[in-house]
Structure 1
Amino acid sequence: MEEQFVWITARRIKPGTLDDFEGAWRPEPAPQGLRRAFAYWSEDGAEIIGVSFWDTRESCDAYRASEAEVRRRQAMAPYVVEERESFYRGRELAIPVR
């Protein structure tokens, strides 16, 4: 199976700021090397998990070091209480057919 490169970020945000945070969270323009991105919210809207899939570790690192990412993080900062992030390598698991 194909190896995948994934950046995962978990953020706890200030109460009542989900809509504002989501507007600041979206990168513009789309980063070079970004294949797909997903966001998942807790039911109370207090925590957001971002999962992004990249062509390579280097393409992810290049974006993370870019001015565009610096501006995006500055835009999100007023809404973020806590942040955890990590880079992973992996692949899809084959689910046995029943």
Structure 2
Amino acid sequence: MEEHFVWVTTRGIKPGALADFERAWRPQPFPHGLRRAFAYWSEDGHEITGVSFWDSKESCDAWRASGEEKRRRDAMAQYVVEEREGFYRGGELSIPGH
């Protein structure tokens, strides 16, 4: 199994603030070591989960400690009502018949 390094963040978003949150949420520049990123929204637009894949835990930690990430988090803060996050290691599960 190929090992992946994944950072997952789920945020509760203030009602009606999803579009503004999305503008603040996109990193600029994109982080060094970021391989892929996905975003998933609840149907009501009040929650968003971001899943980012990194080349190592160290590259993720470096981004998390950077000034760019602090500025991004500060810009998002006005739209967020709650946040849960964590770093994980793992891989894709094989599904029989696929």
TM-score by length of 1: 0.98
Structure 1 CA distance, aligned partners of 2:26 and 2:62?
Answer: 17
Match of 1:73 in 2: 73
Match of 2:10 in 1: 10
Structure 1 CA distance, aligned partners of 2:30 and 2:22?
Answer: 15
- Structure 1 residue 36, shift from structure 2 partner: 0.4
Structure 1: tracts of 5 or more residues without a match: none
Structure 2 CA distance, aligned partners of 1:49 and 1:97?
Answer: 29
Match of 1:83 in 2: 83
Q: Share of identical aligned residues, percent?
A: 74
Superposition RMSD in Å: 0.8
Structure 1 CA distance, aligned partners of 2:40 and 2:91?
Answer: 20
Count of residues in correspondence between the two structures = 98
Match of 1:56 in 2: 56
Kindly report structure 1 stretches of 4+ aligned residues shifted beyond 3 Å: none
Structure 2 counterpart of 1:92, which letter? E
- Structure 1 residue 18, shift from structure 2 partner: 0.3
